[in-house]
Amino acid sequence: MDAAETRRRLTRLVALSIAAAIATIALKTLAWAVTGSVGLLSDAAESVVNLIAAVMALAVVQFAERPPDEDHAYGHEKANYLAAGIEGALILLAAVSIAYAAVRRLADPEPLDDVGIGAAVALIASAINLVVARILITAGREHGSLTLEADGRHLMTDVWTSVGVVAGVAAVAITGWDPLDPLIALAVAGNIIATGVRLVRDSASGLMDRALPAADLERVNAILERYSEDGVRFHALRSRRAGRRTFLSVHVLVPGAWSVQRGHDLVERVEADLRGVLAHAAVFTHLEPLEDPASFDDSELDRS
């Protein structure tokens, strides 16, 4: 699948998320209007955040999937991290608003009406979100799109929110204890906060050029060790990830008596093998003579 086709598919998936958000807002608002539950109202408010996040994700997907250009030689994928961070912040905002409404209702509990109808409508909305969330998370992992995966995780949070709210509404109807409704809403707010913090943390990690996961680095080191058996050495291994693109650089030390052609052939093989174990990888190598002490001056992360 080429870049243009990938961008079109991701765009269609985000459009599906937008449609799901609109549908669930309508259903949850209806459920709140029928029951008067602050829990269902908070659930509808989170779906509004879902819609805002999905619209933003649509713009980001269009930008992040563009190929590298003169002004962005390393691609545009970091826009994914920015979008995920903003979405995490929106989730936190939704959690605060839910907690505020819940505390107000806790101070002045009110009885609920037509719980059965409201719960049924809310569960239909949850089913829509569940299906769309699984599609988005799977596609996000397949294409390395943090924006799409974050949108899917946001919807999955919404699913658990709705399930908790419906359970709380049902418990209120059964027990007649009205304060349970806002207490459930507060618990839901806590779960949403945890999701928002995780998204913001992952976004910050990507923007700060964190190294590849340990499993990826183990595969890289296995390849380098294989070549080291021939008297070749490596150092100054550096890595980072931007969306689905991986960037890797390493210095290759070979005997100084080697010809330029022989050294070039070696690094071509090394780069090809590394690209074989890292999807969408850009590999940069620097050839150095093994006997020259200056070759080891740049082995540290920050050369002085």
The pLDDT assigned to 2 comes to 59
What is the average per-residue pLDDT within 119-135? 90
Q: Residue 218: which CATH number?
A: 3.30.70.1350
Q: Which of 179, 207, 235 is the last residue of a domain?
A: 207
239-279 residue pLDDT tens: 988 767 788 999 999 998 899 999 999 999 999 999 998 87
pLDDT score at 141: 81
In-domain check, residue 303: no
What DSSP character marks residue 172? H
Residue after which a domain boundary falls, among 187, 207, 227? 207
CA-CA-CA-CA dihedral for 124, 170, 157, 128, to nearest 10: 0
CATH number of the domain at 107, please.
1.20.1510.10
Tokens for 212, please give them. Answer: 């590849």
203 in any annotated domain: yes
Share of the chain above pLDDT 70, in %: 94
Distance CA 263, CA 217 (A): 24
List beta partners, residue 152. none
The Cα–Cα gap between 156 and 136 comes to 10
Q: Is residue 302 part of a domain?
A: no
In sequence order, the 6+-apart residues with CB closer than 8 A to the CB of 133 are 152, 153, 155, 156, 158, 159
Phi, psi of 288 (to 5 degrees): -140, 150
List, in order, residues 6 or more apart from 214 with CB less than 8 Å away. none
Contact 60, 80 (CB under 8 A): yes
Report pLDDT digits (tens) over 216-243: 999 999 999 988 877 799 998 999 887 6
Which residues does 106 contact at the CB level (< 8 Å), separation at least 6? 179, 182, 183, 186
Retrieve residue 33's tokens: 């209007």
pLDDT, position 201: 84
Contacts of 142 (CB under 8 A, 6+ apart): none
Which residues are CB-neighbours of 218 under 8 A, at least 6 positions away? none
**Spatial distance between the Cα atoms of 94 and 117, rounded to a whole number of angstroms:** 25
Do 132 and 273 sit in the same domain of this protein? no
Domain-ending residue, one of 161, 178, 207: 207
From residue 50, how far is each of 88, 91, 189, 237 by CA, in Å? Answer: 11, 8, 15, 40
One domain, residues 236 and 152:
no
Question: What confidence tens digit (pLDDT) does each residue in 58-99 have?
Answer: 777 777 667 777 877 677 777 777 777 877 787 788 788 778
Is there a single domain that holds both residue 25 and residue 53?
Answer: yes
**Three-state secondary structure of 202-242:** HHHHHHCCCCCCHHHHHHHHHHHHHHHCCCCEEEEEEEEEE
pTM for the model stands at: 0.61
**Two tokens, residue 196:** 């928002």
pLDDT tens column, 163-195 = 877 887 788 888 888 788 788 778 877 877 887
Range of the domain at 219: 214-296
Q: Based on the structure, what is the number of domains in the chain? A: 2
Indicate whether 304 pLDDT > 60.
no
Distance CA 30, CA 149 (A): 28
